[in-house]
Structure 1
Amino acid sequence: MNQSTTVVQSSHDETPAKTDVRTLCVGVVGLGHMGSAFARNLIAHGYRTLVFDRNRSKREACNGAEPVAAIGDLVPCDVVFSSLPNDDVLSALTEGERGLLATLKKGAIHISTSTVSPEIARRLASLHALAGQGYVASPVLGNPDLATARKVFFMVAGSSEHLATAVPVLEGLGQHVFFMGNDPGHANLMKLAANVMIATTLESMGETLALLRKGGISAETGFEVLTNSLFDSKVHKAYGGKILKEQYRPAGMVVPLALKDMRLALTEAESSSARQISPGAPTMKEEIQPCSTPTCHAPTTSTTMANCRTDLPI
C-alpha cells in the first residue's frame, strides 16, 4: 500500500517535519462518496477509525470502523476528517452547540477536505486556534473512484505544527500532496480554481463534440483527433470520454454542487477584484445559467441546451 507521495512547498514556506502517526485515533465526519472512501482506506492502514454521518445506514455500512451516533462521541480522536457538501453544513457541524469545536480535545486537528469558501476556512481556523485545536484545509482533486484507489491529490494549508501531523495521514490516502502555505483559505481557493477549469472543460468539450457531430464529423473521430494532439490532458480524456459515451450516471458530482463551486469562485473573484475579462466577453455569471427545461437546473448555454443533464460526469 505504499504510495509515491510528494509534498510540494511554496517558495517562502518550509515543508513541515513529519511525525509518527501510527497510534492516532482518526474520525471521519460525512460518509458520502469521498468520505466513505477515505474511511475505508484509513481502516486499511490500521488506524482506529470512528465515523459519523447523519444517515445511520451509512455509519453502519463502514465495515471495520466504529460508528458513532453524534459528533460528541468523537472525543477520543486526535484527527478528524470532514467531507461535507457546503459552507453551511460544515459550519453547523463545527460551530454548533455539540459540534467539533466543543467536542475535540486540545491539540486535536480538524482536516477539512470539503470544497468550501476561503472565508469559512479562515474563520474555522481561527476558532479552532482559540479552542486550542488545529485546522488544516485539505480539499481534494479527484473523483470517488480515485479516492478509493488512493490516487487523489490534496492541497493543504495550515500551520507547520498541524501539517506535521496531518500530512503523513494524507499521504496514505492519495498520490500527491501540494503544500499551499499557512493560509487555509489558499487551499480552498486553489480547489475552486481547479473546479472552474474542470467545469469550463466539460462545457467546451460538449459544445465542440456537438459542433463536429452536426457538421458531419463523428464525435468519435473528433475526440480521437483532439485528445491525441493538443488536448491530451487527463481532464479532456476522462471527462470528454464520458461525454462521448454519454456516461452521465452515476454522477460523480450532481449539478447543485457544481453550481455551488462556480458561485463560490465567482464570489471570490468579485470580492478580491481579481476578475479580468476581455471587453464584451460573457462573464461566468452570464455563461453559467440554469437550464429552462422544466425540472432541470443544469448549467448550460444556448448551444448545449438540447443536451442538458441533471448531473455531471465528474
Structure 2
Amino acid sequence: MKIGFIGLGVMGAPMARHLADAGHEIVTVLNRSPLPADLKASVVASPTEVARISEIVITMLPDTPDVERVLLGRNSVLEGISAGKLVIDMSSISPIATAEFAAKIREAGAGYLDAPVSGGEVGAKAASLTIMVGGPAAEFERARPIFEKLGKNITLIGENNGAGQTCKIANQIIVALNIEAVAEALVFAGKAGCDAAKVRAALMGGFASSRVLEVHGERMISRSFAPGFRIRLHQKDLNLALESARALGVALPGTAAAQQLMNACSARADGAEADHSSLVRALEILSNHELSTERN
C-alpha cells in the first residue's frame, strides 16, 4: 500500500526502509533530516499532501509540539486526511495531547493509533522493536501487518488513545532507573579499586544481569557515548512521566532523581546529544572517579 512516513531521523529512517523493502510505496516530506540514499521514497511538499495521497500516515517525531505541528498545524496532515484513512503516531509524546490529537483526526473520519516504540536505533535497524499501541482493536488489526515489519513484541495496551503512550512512559521510567542503577554499581566498584569491566562481566552471569547492564554497561566502560538514544529525548520522556505523575497524584522519586542526573549531563557542552548511557558522567563527577581512568 501507499504509506506516508513523516520523520526520517535515527529511528524513522530504518523503519521506513523496512516498509519499503516489504513492497510498500513510501511517501514523505523532508524537514530536519535528508532522504537517506538507500530509501526509495516519493518526496512531496507538505504533510497535507502526504495525507492526501497515502492510505496510512505514520509519524515518528521527537516531541509533542512536533507531532502537533505536523498533524494539526499549517499544511498539516489534518488538512489532507479523509475518511477511511489511518494515522499512526509512533513518536513518544504526551498521553493527554495524544487523546486530543486523536479526537481531531477522528472528526475528519480517519482512524488513529498511538504506537510508541522501544528498542532504540539497534531495534529499529533490526526490525525488533517493542511496539505499544493505544486505539480501537479493529484499527490495531488493520495496522498489525505494518507493525510486524517493524517489531517483534507488539501489544494492544488498551482501546483508548493514549494507552500506548502511557505504556511507553512506564518503559522509560524502568530504562532510566536501570541505567542509573548500572552506573551507580560500576562507579562504586571502580572507586573501591575493582576493574569495572570485570565486575560487569561477573554480574552478567547473575540475577543483576539485564539488557541495560549488557549494552549500556559496556558503553559506560568503553566510553562509547555516540547516540543510540539521546539524553535530551530521555529527558523529554521523564518530563512526561513527572507531569503525568503530578496529574495522577503518583510519587516517582527514583524517576525524579534520574531526571536530575540527566539534567546535569545535559549541562555539558556535548551532553544533551550524547547517548543516555552517559548518565554515568554525572555520578562520576559526584564521586570524583571516572571509569575511563581504570584503563590508563
Q: TM-score, normalised by structure 1?
A: 0.82
Given the superposition, is the C-alpha separation of residues 166 and 206 from structure 1 closer, same or farther in structure 2, using an over 3 Å criterion?
Answer: same
2:187, 2:289 within 8 Å by CA — same for their partners in 1?
no
Q: Distance in 1 between matches of 2:16 and 2:259?
A: 39
Q: Distance in 2 between matches of 1:286 and 1:150?
A: 29
Given the superposition, is the C-alpha separation of residues 73 and 60 from structure 1 closer, same or farther in structure 2, using an over 3 Å criterion?
Answer: farther
Given the superposition, is the C-alpha separation of residues 302 and 171 from structure 1 closer, same or farther in structure 2, using an over 3 Å criterion?
Answer: closer
Partner of 1:13: none
Q: Distance in 1 between matches of 2:255 and 2:238?
A: 15
1:223, 1:244 within 8 Å by CA — same for their partners in 2?
no
Q: What amino acid maps onto 2:245 in structure 1?
A: A
Q: Distance in 1 between matches of 2:268 and 2:155?
A: 42
Partner of 1:191: 168
Indicate whether 1:205 and 2:185 are aligned.
no
Tell me how far 1:287 sits from its aligned partner: 4.2
Aligned pair partner of 1:295 in 269, 272, 282: 269
Tell me how far 1:91 sits from its aligned partner: 0.3
Q: Distance in 2 between matches of 1:294 and 1:240?
A: 21
Extract unaligned runs of 5+ from structure 1: 1-23, 309-314
Aligned pair partner of 1:252 in 216, 228, 232: 228
Partner of 2:150: 173
Q: What amino acid maps onto 2:283 in structure 1?
A: T
Taking every aligned residue pair, what percent have the same amino acid on both sides?
24
Q: Distance in 1 between matches of 2:15 and 2:252?
A: 37
Partner of 1:71: 47
User: Secondary structure in 2 aligned to 1:216?
Assistant: coil
Greater helix fraction, Structure 1 or Structure 2? 2
Tell me how far 1:186 sits from its aligned partner: 1.5
1:158, 1:181 within 8 Å by CA — same for their partners in 2?
yes
User: Secondary structure in 1 aligned to 2:79?
Assistant: helix
Q: What amino acid maps onto 1:290 in structure 2?
A: N
2:118, 2:129 within 8 Å by CA — same for their partners in 1?
yes
Q: What amino acid maps onto 2:85 in structure 1?
A: A
Indicate whether 1:275 and 2:251 are aligned.
yes
User: Secondary structure in 2 aligned to 1:42?
Assistant: helix
Q: TM-score, normalised by structure 2?
A: 0.87
**Structure ranking higher on relative contact order (CA contacts 8 Å, 6+ apart):** 1
Given the superposition, is the C-alpha separation of residues 284 and 215 from structure 1 closer, same or farther in structure 2, using an over 3 Å criterion?
Answer: closer
Aligned pair partner of 1:304 in 284, 287, 290: 284
Tell me how far 1:38 sits from its aligned partner: 1.1
Tell me how far 1:61 sits from its aligned partner: 3.2
Tell me how far 1:30 sits from its aligned partner: 0.6
The C-alpha deviation readout for 1:124-152, integer Å capped at 9, x for no partner, is 11111111011101000101122111111
User: Secondary structure in 1 aligned to 2:35?
Assistant: helix
User: Secondary structure in 2 aligned to 1:304?
Assistant: helix
Partner of 2:206: 229
Given the superposition, is the C-alpha separation of residues 72 and 286 from structure 1 closer, same or farther in structure 2, using an over 3 Å criterion?
Answer: closer
Q: What amino acid maps onto 1:295 in structure 2?
A: A
Partner of 1:220: 197
Q: What amino acid maps onto 2:243 in structure 1?
A: T
Partner of 1:18: none
Tell me how far 1:200 sits from its aligned partner: 1.6
Matches within 5 A, 1:86-125: 86-125=63-102
Given the superposition, is the C-alpha separation of residues 98 and 226 from structure 1 closer, same or farther in structure 2, using an over 3 Å criterion?
Answer: same
Q: Distance in 1 between matches of 2:15 and 2:96?
A: 25
Q: Distance in 2 between matches of 1:303 and 1:233?
A: 20
Tell me how far 1:188 sits from its aligned partner: 0.5
Q: What amino acid maps onto 1:232 in structure 2?
A: S
Partner of 1:241: 218
Partner of 1:140: 117
Partner of 1:9: none
Partner of 1:12: none
Q: What amino acid maps onto 1:208 in structure 2?
A: A
2:46, 2:76 within 8 Å by CA — same for their partners in 1?
no
Matches within 5 A, 1:13-162: 24-55=1-32, 58-59=34-35, 61=37, 63-74=39-50, 75-162=52-139
Given the superposition, is the C-alpha separation of residues 294 and 77 from structure 1 closer, same or farther in structure 2, using an over 3 Å criterion?
Answer: closer
Q: Distance in 2 between matches of 1:190 and 1:208?
A: 27
Given the superposition, is the C-alpha separation of residues 91 and 227 from structure 1 closer, same or farther in structure 2, using an over 3 Å criterion?
Answer: same
In the alignment of these two chains, the number of paired residues is: 280
How large is the Cα RMSD of the aligned pairs? 2.3
